[in-house]
Amino acid sequence: MEYIPQALSKVRANRPLVHNITNLVVMNATANALLAIVASPVMAQLEDMLKIASALVINIGTLDEHWIASVEKAVEIAGELEKPIVLDPVGAGATRLRTETALSLFDVGAVKVLRGNLSEVAALLGEHGKTWGVDSTVYEKDKAKNLATAAAKEFNTAVAVTGPVDYVSNGKETYAIYNGHELLGMVTGTGCMVTAIIGAFIAVEEPLKATVSALAIFGIAAEKASEETKYPGSFHIKLYDWLYRIDHNLIKEKAKVERIEP
C-alpha cells in the first residue's frame, strides 16, 4: 500500500484547510487531530468559508433547526464548488431526525465518503430500502464487510464501517484495516477525529485511497500511543503526539491493510 505514506506526504505538503461543521462535544478534539496530522482545521457554520476550504466534513452529533438548515446549505455550496464532502452520521438509527437528516444530505450534494459504525450505516441503508436484520447492530466482521460494500453501491460513495476491524469499500474494491486499539473506545470523539482526518486526506487523494490511508494512519497512531500508556486520559494526549510523529517508515512497518473480495 505505497499510496498510504504518499498520501500522508501530500497532506503535510499541502496542509489542506478542512471546513468542519461538527458537534460541540468533539470540536476541540477534531481540530487538534487535524493540527497534529499537519492539516488546517476551521470549525464554523459559515458557508462562505467553503470558497477557500479544501474539503467539507459534516458531523451530525448535535442537531437543531438552525444547524440542519446551515449544513444543508453548506453541502449544496460544496457541491457547486466541487469540494469533497465527508459525512459522519453520528447516532443515525437512534432517532428518526438523525437518520433522516443524514439521508437528506445525499440528496443535497455529492457526499464522497460516509464514515460510521455498523449500527449507523445499517440504519441509513435500512431507511433507504435495504433490509438488515434486527441483530445487524451487533458487530461481526462479515456483516461489517458486506454492509460497507452494499452501502457504497447504494449511495455511490466510498463507505467506511469502523469497528474492531475497519472496512472500506467503493462498491468495487473493499479493504480491511486491522490497525487500532481498544483504548480508542474509552475516549470520547475518536470516531469523529478520524472522520475529520479523512477530510484532510480526501483533499489530496481519491476517496477510497484517502479513507484507507486515514484509517490506517489513525490506527497505527493509536497502537503506538497504547505502548506508552494504558490509561484513557494519557492515551488521548499520546494519540495526538503519534499523529504528529508518524512517518513513512512507521507506516510501512505497521500498516495492516488487506484487499478482500467485495
Instruction: Give the pLDDT score at 246.
Output: 98
- CA-wise closest residue to 177 among 193, 166, 164, 162: 166
DSSP state for residue 153 in the 8-state scheme: H
What cell numbers appear for 255 in the block? Answer: 500498516
Residue 250 buriedness (CB in 10 A; 0-12 / 13-18 / 19+)? middle
84, 172, 231 from 99: Cα distances, Å: 21, 26, 34
SS3 state at 38: coil
Alpha carbons 31 and 17: distance in angstroms, whole number = 11
Instruction: Give the pLDDT score at 66.
Output: 83
* Full set of structural domains in the chain with CATH: 3-260 (3.40.1190.20)
Long-range contacts of 80-84, Cβ-Cβ distance < 8 Å, separation of 24 or more: 81/50, 81/51, 83/19, 83/50, 83/53, 83/54, 83/55, 83/56, 84/55, 84/56, 84/112, 84/113, 84/199, 84/202, 84/203, 84/207
Alpha carbons 198 and 207: distance in angstroms, whole number = 9
59, 234, 244 from 231: Cα distances, Å: 27, 6, 20
Q: What tens-digit pLDDT sequence spans the chain (262 residues)? A: 899 999 999 999 999 999 999 888 899 999 999 999 999 999 876 667 888 999 999 999 888 888 898 889 999 999 999 999 999 999 898 888 999 999 999 998 889 999 999 999 999 998 554 444 333 456 788 889 999 999 999 999 999 999 999 999 999 999 999 999 999 999 999 999 999 999 999 999 999 999 999 999 999 999 999 999 999 999 999 999 999 999 999 999 999 999 997 5
